[in-house]
Structure 1
């Protein structure tokens, strides 16, 4: 089977009701992102940061995967599919996708501030005073500004094996994630799904200027038809 690698960003989750990372004014839910998404912000005001992610966690419980998430699962019938997402929600997993790499962490997980390898599933509120076994505060398992992206190399290795690369709901302008497409092999066919694409088509890059839910469904149907025809 051919290998499909899917890169997803905020645009795919927005259609499930999850707000995109930040608004045009640079604020995220009314906060400067450096206050709620940086190690310094956590050091200066851990209560604010934990409350911010508690609200995000509660919101995530109230939404469901949309048509785009569900369509990507269908590709697994005829392709080896890997999903690399910049999103911290679990909507890909809830849609049934089995191989998901979370570049920026996961909202339903927390980790120890003493040992970053101590990671725990966590769906309830996280508060100051919630400690790991080493008596150290737990923090959201999120990659904040100024922190390394630990799974970037894993993601790059996936892209290197891609026969088809699908980019959904992300401008691919923010590094280091934007650099992942450069790891695709020369024969790789790319598809870019976004209602306002900021790139132009090339021989190996096709643009579908639609929202994720309609654009992904259309592409998945096309790829499944091609695969069933043995092309």
Structure 2
């Protein structure tokens, strides 16, 4: 093997080694969070299920229809909670891996965006729990036909809850995606604003696909998505203007 080939292979090997180390740290962070949360699995599940349990008709409760669901359902929630809790560590490892290859002006934008993405993700989870859950589960509990006992299965409830958490957690990242698209020059803020009617339609389509089949949750997802898109355009313009002023000074 020639010296040139060795020089080309070494950086690749170094990058793969670093990627492996970063992934191992991410797995370790999730594992540590899982072990720390596992003793509180039932408590965490009770907290997440509280909006549903509070809105159940009097004299009814949630049920478990599978033999192992009383263990597997809280454990599944612990795994998801551990991943969410470890999100700052995960994004930090991602940042440490990609930042050496970025320009200085890109780092100035990327670091605040990564920090904001964590805050927005948690904000989406909080919005889903405190705003969406009571409305959605209250709606389903309130339309129960006469003579029918409304006793949701714990595993089915968790699947719906996680779907809502994921939908709103990802939806709250829209400002970050909007700023990145504008700052990268793929499209201007004015061009993106001109496509507003299509964006609104897309928000309601996504709301229809990612939420339970009720109008309330669909509107509660589509509305914030549209608002966050508008916020992203505003911040995208500010970032673009700041970068232009910085280039002029240089």
Bigger share in helix: 2
For Structure 1 versus Structure 2, the TM-score category normalised by the shorter chain is: under 0.3
Q: Of the two, which has the highest radius of gyration?
A: 2
Higher relative contact order (CA 8 A, sep 6+): 1
TM-score normalized by the length of structure 2: 0.24
TM-score by length of 1: 0.26
